[in-house]
Chain A
């Protein structure tokens, strides 16, 4: 009787190096992925729960303050309307010109022996005045005064127009100049 042998142990096939590496890499990657997801997911849930409470507290606080402010509507209205009117005054005052220093300045030229007949000025400083002088000496004095004013930078671009000398020896002329903004305020 011949002996028959049966091989019950299956010969193990050796895995390729790539497969061996993938067998290590894939589970590690999947675990990190899963843990990462779990961390972020539960973190987001905790964040939402915490902040919803804070959000509700904030909302409640805002509602209470809004109620309180609504109760002061009268005060708010009168304050805002007062403020808007006062800001109008403030803005107009910044550009408001009184012209009084200029009027006094022109009028004071009468002291030089000339007679200021008329004068006018606008808000850009364009000024003119008409005068009569009884002598050339008083005219000289006027010219010197005007030159001084130009040096002091109160007047600029001074020009004399239409100088007439009548048979009595009186002079009549018109003078134009630009006034410095300091004299218009």
Chain B
């Protein structure tokens, strides 16, 4: 009885401290069970909101760019670019290019060597131009002409009128008073197009002014389509049942 009275008196003495301690303990428990999870959730929402805002900005930019694109213009010119820089080695277009340049430039193409005399596998014959991402085939061309027509021919190799070729080195021999035999070691490029266009929020790189000028140049050049060429040639009956 005396002991109980003593405990009661002690409790009475420390009741304020005990009650306050209990409140602190309960609040600490609540912090860990309710407040911290809430903070984590709020932080997650904040982070995701930031990501979504960024994504939305990208999408808006992309939408604006896409809306400003003249689809018809690019659609018309895309095959023309493909003629200048095809997806494969396309030897036929190389021959056509040389034929056209020969016709227009007043030079005679004496010899064209697509493999530079190397007996090699298909993969060894084509190399990648690392800076641009395009592949190239080494092509050696022997030409006869005067200095003016040969210069014109060299310039025409990279003026987008036919296959795009660059000159690596040259050598010439003076044949007559005015005639030169010029050997050009060139590179004919081809570019394998990417198979995917990227994710929906991937940004669109704007075509630069310089690139637009190149496209304009390519677009202005009139090229005979395969159908036109076929129409010009005698190819027999077009309809087998006629």
Binding site for B on A (CB under 8 A): 15, 19, 22-23, 26-27, 29-31, 33-34, 37, 40-41, 44-45, 47-48, 51-52, 54-55, 58-59, 61-62, 65-66, 68-70, 72-93, 95-100, 103-104, 107, 115-123
Contact = CB atoms under 8 A, between A and B. Distances in A.
Nearest to B201: A66
B49 A77 contact: no
A61 B147 CA distance: 64
A30 B39 CA distance: 22
Interface of B: 13-14, 16-17, 19-21, 23-24, 27, 30-31, 34-35, 38-39, 41-42, 45-46, 48-49, 52-53, 55-56, 59-60, 62-63, 66-67, 69, 71, 74-75, 77-78, 81-82, 84-85, 129, 131-134, 147, 150-151, 154-155, 158, 160, 164, 166-174, 180, 189, 191, 193-194, 197-198, 200-201, 204-208, 210-211, 214-215
B56 A78 contact: no
B188 to A, nearest CB: 11
Contacts of A41: 30, 34-35, 38
Nearest to B183: A120
Given A61-B56, A69-B59, A121-B169, A85 B16 contact: no
B160 to A, nearest CB: 8
A26 B151 contact: no
Contact of B23 (A30, A65, A107, A115): A30
14 contacts: A27-B16, A48-B38, A55-B49, A62-B56, A69-B63, A72-B66, A76-B204, A78-B78, A85-B85, A86-B215, A89-B85, A92-B158, A92-B189, A118-B172
Given A37-B31, A58-B53, A92 B42 contact: no
A173 to B, nearest CB: 15
A22 B168 CA distance: 92
A31 to B, nearest CB: 8
Contact of A92 (B16, B17, B166): B166
B56 A118 contact: no
A99 B207 contact: no
Nearest to B150: A103
Contacts of A80: 194, 197-198, 204-205
A104 B214 contact: no
Contact of A54 (B19, B21, B42, B49): B49
A175 to B, nearest CB: 15
B174 A117 contact: yes
A40 B150 CA distance: 83
A111 to B, nearest CB: 12
Given A23-B16, A82-B74, A69 B62 contact: yes
Nearest to B28: A33
B8 to A, nearest CB: 12
